Amino acid sequence: MALVTQFCVGLDNKPGELTRFCAALRTKNVNIEALFVSSDDEEDCAWLNFVATPPEPAEQALIDGGYKYFTEPVLAVPADNRPGEIEQIAGKLAEAGVNISYVYGSSRSGTKSTLVLSADDMAAAAKALGQA
């Protein structure tokens, strides 16, 4: 598990915007490790949260592309890709009194996945999951 930087970007909610965004990252040779996009059909803006490697060129791609964004720390938690794994992780956080703000996942090939999560107390979350 690692504390990583998540980028939060507002995109116009129209066809082609995700393509344009991904192309901006590709030109800097940035890989998207995990991605979450949310929008409402009635809204003009879609929110995109992502973790990328390497993060410095990702940030430069956002700057060069004129994107409005902010960053925040999140935990990248390795997880077995099996039933009950998220329950076990959530249980450890609940036991420690940590509230999960949000979580999204990225499946890797094979038996491992990565969960990206934010919590009300990131230090306590890291400790509860074995990282102090």
The listed range with the strongest mean pLDDT (40-49, 73-82, 110-119) is 73-82
Q: Are 92 and 44 within one domain?
A: no
In contact, 10 and 45? CB cutoff 8 Å: yes
Kindly state the percentage of the chain with pLDDT values over 70: 95
Indicate the helix (H) or strand (E) that contains 92.
helix 85-95
Name the pTM for this structure.
0.86
Q: How far apart are CA 70 and CA 80, in angstroms?
A: 30
Q: What is the pLDDT of residues 6-55, one digit of tens each?
A: 999 999 988 999 999 999 999 999 999 999 999 877 778 889 999 999 99
Q: Are 10 and 67 within one domain?
A: yes
Q: What is the pLDDT of residues 117-132, one digit of tens each?
A: 999 999 999 999 987 5
Q: Are 35 and 93 within one domain?
A: no
Q: Give the structural domain span for 99.
A: 73-128
Sheet with 45-53, side-by-side order of all strands: 31-38, 45-53, 2-12, 69-80, 112-119, 100-107
Domain count for the chain, please give it.
2
Q: Are 14 and 60 within one domain?
A: yes
Domain boundary among 30, 48, 72: 72
